Amino acid sequence: MKKKVLVTGGAGYIGSMLVSKLVHLGYKVTVIDLLKYSSTSLNHLCFNKNFKLIVDDVRNKNLIKKEIKKNEFIIPLAALVGAPLCKKNKKEAVSENQQAHIRNMKDNREEARGEGSSKGREREQGQRKG
């Protein structure tokens, strides 16, 4: 079975190079990107069966949650890059570069531990007793 990788921000320069290499190595790669700055960097992969592009925002909590469950590895590259762009778009820079990544990782860590459900809490309490 092929390893599944989720790359957020995979259409940027680093992301597109990494995604190309991963697909070439036989990984099944899903990219989530708004294509805000580059809409052609992944064109050469569009017809590859191991590649999937989702044009959406990394801040879409439901989408990220769903896609993280489907993938074994997550590579978070989505970000506004460079001081001039971050200074110009301060609110978006904090939202995308910091808050979205922290929230997504925290939510999914809690879910993986089972902290989001009563069954998970019961399982965790049982482990502490034993």
Alpha carbon distance 111, 120 (integer Å): 8
Neighbouring residues of 60: CB distance < 8 A, sequence distance ≥ 6 = none
User: CB 30: neighbour CB atoms within 10 A?
Assistant: 20
Please tell me what DSSP assigns to residue 98: I
Task: Please choose, from the candidates 14, 59, 55, 66, the residue with its C-alpha nearest in 3D space to the C-alpha of residue 31.
Answer: 55
Burial class of 9 by CB neighbour count within 10 A (0 to 12, 13 to 18, 19+): buried
Alpha carbon distance 127, 110 (integer Å): 16
Alpha carbon distance 126, 77 (integer Å): 37
Percent of the chain with pLDDT over 70: 60
Residue 4 phi, psi dihedral angles, 5° rounding: -110, 130
pLDDT band (50, 70, 90) for residue 119: very low
Q: What is the pLDDT of residues 53-93, one digit of tens each?
A: 999 988 888 998 899 889 999 898 876 665 665 566 666 65
Q: What is the pLDDT of residues 30-60, one digit of tens each?
A: 999 989 878 899 999 999 999 999 999 888 8
Q: Which domains does the chain have, with CATH numbers?
A: 4-129 (3.40.50.720)
Alpha carbon distance 48, 28 (integer Å): 10
> Can you tell me whether residue 52 is helix, strand or coil?
strand
